[in-house]
Amino acid sequence: MPVDFVAVADGLLTGSARAPQLIGSECRRCGVVAFPRQGSCAACASSDVRERRLARRGTLWTWTIQCFPPKSPPYAGASDDFEPFGVGYVELPGEVRVEARLTEADPARLRIGMPMELVLVPAPGGDGEQTFAFRPVEER
């Protein structure tokens, strides 16, 4: 369970607001990692899977900018105050590529291969619930 924030859904997130972690699963038979947590392995069909907390850092594998308000439902946010947001897949080394919102929505500041870190952002249309996003890590 998250220690100091309310997640947008049960079973997705753990850790703290400063260091949130995604909850995935790992197949004990073939080692394949998935997110969100699965009851069986999509690669080898084994049901011998265990929970695995995923790495908080990875690299941007691909990205886009969501420029128009998604239809609601299923989107929980309002369309009148919509701001474009980034979406991408972030490769967590040796684990899995996770799809997530990005904190950066400027295409000029996104680049495949750049380092990214997991953070929390307010869930659209929520009442203080947090969802996950990746933010570019400052490169020195």
Partner 1 sequence: MSADAVAVVGVGIHPFGRHDGISGLEMAAVAARAALRDAGVAWQEVEFAAGGSDAAGNADTTVSVLGLTGVPFINVRNGCATGGSALATAHAMLSAGTAEIALVVGFDKHPPGAFDPRPEDWGLGSWYGATGLMLTTQFFAMKIQRYMAEHGISESTLAKVAAKAFENGARNPNAWRRRPLSEQEVLASKMVNHPLTQYMFCSPGEGAVALVLARGERARTLARAPVYLRSVAFRTRRFGSFEVFSPSIPIATAPSPTTEAAAAAFEQAGIAPDDVDVAQLQDTESGAEIMHLAETGLCEHGEQESLVRSGATSLGGRLPVNTDGGCLANGEPIGASGLRQVHEVVLQLRGEAGERQIAGPARVGFTQVYGAPGVSACTVLSR
CB of 18 to partner 1, least distance (A): 21
Interface residue with partner 1, options 2, 21, 56, 87 (CB under 8 A): 87
Contact status: 107 vs partner 1 (CB under 8 A): yes
Determine if 96 is a binding residue for partner 1 (CB under 8 A): yes
Which amino acid is present at 116? M
Is 119 an interacting residue with respect to partner 1 (CB under 8 A)?
A: no
DSSP result, 65-99: EE-SPPPTTT--S-STT---EEEEEEEETTTEEEE
Rounded distance between C-alpha atoms, residue 44 and residue 118, angstroms: 29
> Is residue 134 a contact point for partner 1 (CB under 8 A)?
no
Residues in the chain: 140
Q: Say whether residue 24 binds partner 1 (CB under 8 A).
A: yes
CA distance 47 to 68: 39
Q: Where along the sequence are the contacts to partner 1 (CB under 8 A)? A: 8-9, 12, 24, 32-36, 42-43, 61-68, 70-71, 73-77, 85, 87-89, 91, 94-101, 107, 112, 123-125, 131
